[in-house]
Amino acid sequence: MKSFLKMFVAVLLVQILLIALVVGIIAGKIKDDVEVPRGAALVQVLDGNIPEAPAGGGLPIPGSRCGTSHTAILENLEKARHDERIKAVVLNIGFPSIGWAKRNELRERITQLRDAGKPVWAFTEYLSGSALYLGSACDSLFLLPSGYVSLHGMAAGRPFAKQLLDEIGVEENLHRIEHYKAAAEMIQRESMSPTAKANIEWVLDAIYPEFVSTIERERGIDSGTLESAVFSEGTLVPQEALELGLVDRLLYWDEVQERLLDVPGIERDEDVEEEAWGPQPRTISGSDYAEVTRKDAGIKSKHTIAVVHATGMIAGEESGYSFPFGATMGSGTMTEAFRQAAENEDVAGIIYRIDSGGGESSTSWKIQRAALRAAEAKPMVVSMVDVAGSGGYLICYPLKPMIANPLSIVGSIGSISGKFNIHGLYDKLGITWDFVTRGPNALIESDYFDYTPEQWESFKERHWRDYYYWVDDIARFRNMTSAEVDSVGRGRVFTGEQALERGLIDEVGGFDLALRLVKEKAGIPADEEVEFIHYPQEKGFLEKLMSGNFGAAVQMVIDDILRPWRRPHQTWAVDWNRYH
């Protein structure tokens, strides 16, 4: 039976690889340029996992990923503002898994479109807090008549696995610096400590009022209405949401399309038979529009800005994927990205985009080194997205200027280090170990033993030395005293606004501010448009397969198959807090 299963899995895997290979070859040969119809509406879907950077390097299937990254969506909305063929934009909002910084950057783009005189509508089947926050920035917000409404207060939480580890016989030997580095509590405790709760409270105290006031202001409803008449109810029906002014109309999607025909400049789609379905507007999807170049959209540029994306958990040499943390950022991949950006003669400056909750400290230091070398060659600006914590802060703090969105999560200057003793689990599995050693402390890293008292004291002392080295270095670059850095360290996290008040960053803003600042450093006029080139430029499936990296190619296939079922999460180095 086992032999049969092994053969079945092997045959299935080979079939998947062969299909991917054939599809890739065909896709590369038949891919056509996207034509944007004149008098069209851009329909941009906001749903599911929306990573900061273009995913890249996956199965070579046309349209499988285009327009699904935050960067691509921002670019689509920017192109639509300039493109004379696009007369309106409709955001079809599902369950976008993005943080508050990404939401704010999308709202900025929506405002720019409206200021340019292009209508922006939002349509949703499920009126959540995220849909309402994004939709309130639009000219109109439409809700499905038979849709759902789930609007409530905000909460943040994390899971705790101590009981599970005790049950399976795993003992932690972890040292954290310090009490606010609450990710370790998921293993060491069964509930939040007072310091962990305090950390979350000062973040929520910044995010929640901004969320409430923004919606009430932009939806034109009385202050206090959300809490007294919406959140207090727990759930509403669509008609109640309409009566409270949370949405503008209850419409089905086909009714939204019909209304688009009343927008000045929107033309009827001649390819749709009117007798069968009625007149339909010309539209283009976000995935198709992502293939349209800035030049084709009417954006003329003389200079190029490189955008280096630092996303995911920091670990290893090559960027990839690691369960359960998701995307990983490798030092080798990032070093090559910075090298290419620095050596590209067409690149006038670099925007260093960071969306990471941290990871391995040694890998973080190597990425920081690569960024510093690139900054010596080209003007650089750091732009923090949803998260720049722990290693995500380490990889950029010597650079200036550093900017973060007002609601980015910044800081977590601290560390968690140690090992696990799984002797008890080995016992439960019927596995025993025996050792032969030479020299002192030969088994200090063994997962079969706890640290001895002497080893534990030595380990903690070394860990504190590493922390204070980091604190002193931050102080040197941020013009602070070590005591000042320590007072905002030991694991504390802040919003971008709070981080600015404490000297951890230089300004608050999003991608557009970063672009303005890098133009200024590079001597490019503020009103001049630019071209963008994005790094890292990962190898695709076929490239990795042909280069002999069979394992990486297989991982890509698995990654693409599982992608629709994945949801993003913050890495454990920051806390795994989820702010809903």
Q: What is the mean pLDDT of each run of 10 residues along the chain (580 residues)?
A: 51 55 46 83 95 57 56 97 98 95 98 97 97 98 97 92 95 94 93 94 95 97 95 93 97 96 94 74 96 95 96 92 82 97 97 96 97 98 97 97 97 95 95 96 95 96 96 97 97 97 98 98 96 84 52 52 36 40
> If we measure between CA atoms, which residue out of 186, 182, 184, 183 comes closest to residue 161?
186
Q: Are 297 and 116 in contact (CB under 8 A)?
A: no
Domain match, 139 and 239 both: yes
pTM assigned to the model: 0.86
Is 21 domain-assigned?
no
Instruction: Name the DSSP letter for residue 226.
Output: I
- Could you tell me if residue 282 is inside a domain? yes
Question: Are residue 126 and residue 55 in the same domain, yes or no?
Answer: yes
Return d(Cα 69, Cα 56) in angstroms, integer.
10
**What is residue 576's predicted lDDT score, i.e. its pLDDT?**
40
Q: Are residues 317 and 383 in the same domain?
A: yes
- Quick one: 404 and 531 in the same domain? yes
Position 183: which residue type? A
Domain check: are 77 and 123 in the same one?
yes
Instruction: For residue 216, tell me if it sits in a domain.
Output: no
Residues 74 and 147 in one domain: yes
Strand partners, 534: 307
At a CB cut-off of 8 Å and minimum separation 6, what does 475 contact? 481, 482, 484, 485
Nearest Cα neighbor of 369 from 332, 327, 403 is 332
**Centroid of chain to Cα 384:** 10
- Domain edge (last residue) among 244, 260, 289: 289
If 0-12 CB within 10 Å is exposed, 13-18 middle and 19+ buried, where does residue 454 land?
exposed
Question: Could you tell me if 397 and 270 lie in one domain?
Answer: no
> Cα separation of 329 and 315, whole Å?
6
Same domain for 129 and 267, yes or no, is yes
Quick one: which of 113, 112, 203 has its CA closest to 410?
203
The answer to the question of residue 552 being in a domain is yes
pLDDT value for 279: 87
- What stretches of 323-365 adopt beta strand conformation (E)? 326-329, 347-356
Could you give the number of structural domains in the chain?
A: 2
Closest CA to 259 of 276, 279, 289: 279
Query: Does residue 6 fall inside a structural domain?
Result: no
For tokens 């508050």, name the residue: 100
Q: Which residue has the tokens 């202001």?
A: 217
Give a yes or no: residue 203 inside a domain: no
Residue 51 domain boundaries: 30-151+234-289
CA distances from 293 to 34, 82, 329, 422 (A): 10, 12, 27, 54
3-state secondary structure of 141: strand
Measured distance CA(141)–CA(249) in Å, rounded: 7
Residues 534 and 389 in one domain: yes
The torsion angles phi and psi of 535, rounded to 5 degrees, stand at -130, 150
Query: What length does the chain have?
Result: 580
CA-angle at 229, arms to 224 and 230, nearest 5°: 100
Is residue 500 located within the same domain as residue 541?
yes
453 in any annotated domain: no
Q: Which two tokens stand for residue 3?
A: 């032999």
Q: Is residue 297 part of a domain?
A: no
Residues 70 and 123 in one domain: yes
Last-in-domain residue among 257, 289, 321: 289
Distance (Å) of CA 165 to CA 169, 225, 431, 450: 6, 45, 18, 15
37 and 121 fall within a common domain:
yes
576 token code pair: 């795994």
* CATH label of the domain that carries residue 124: 3.90.226.10
For residue 154, give the nearest of 113, 83, 111, 212 by alpha carbon: 212
In this predicted structure, what is the pLDDT of residue 34? 85
d(CA 470, CA 91): 43
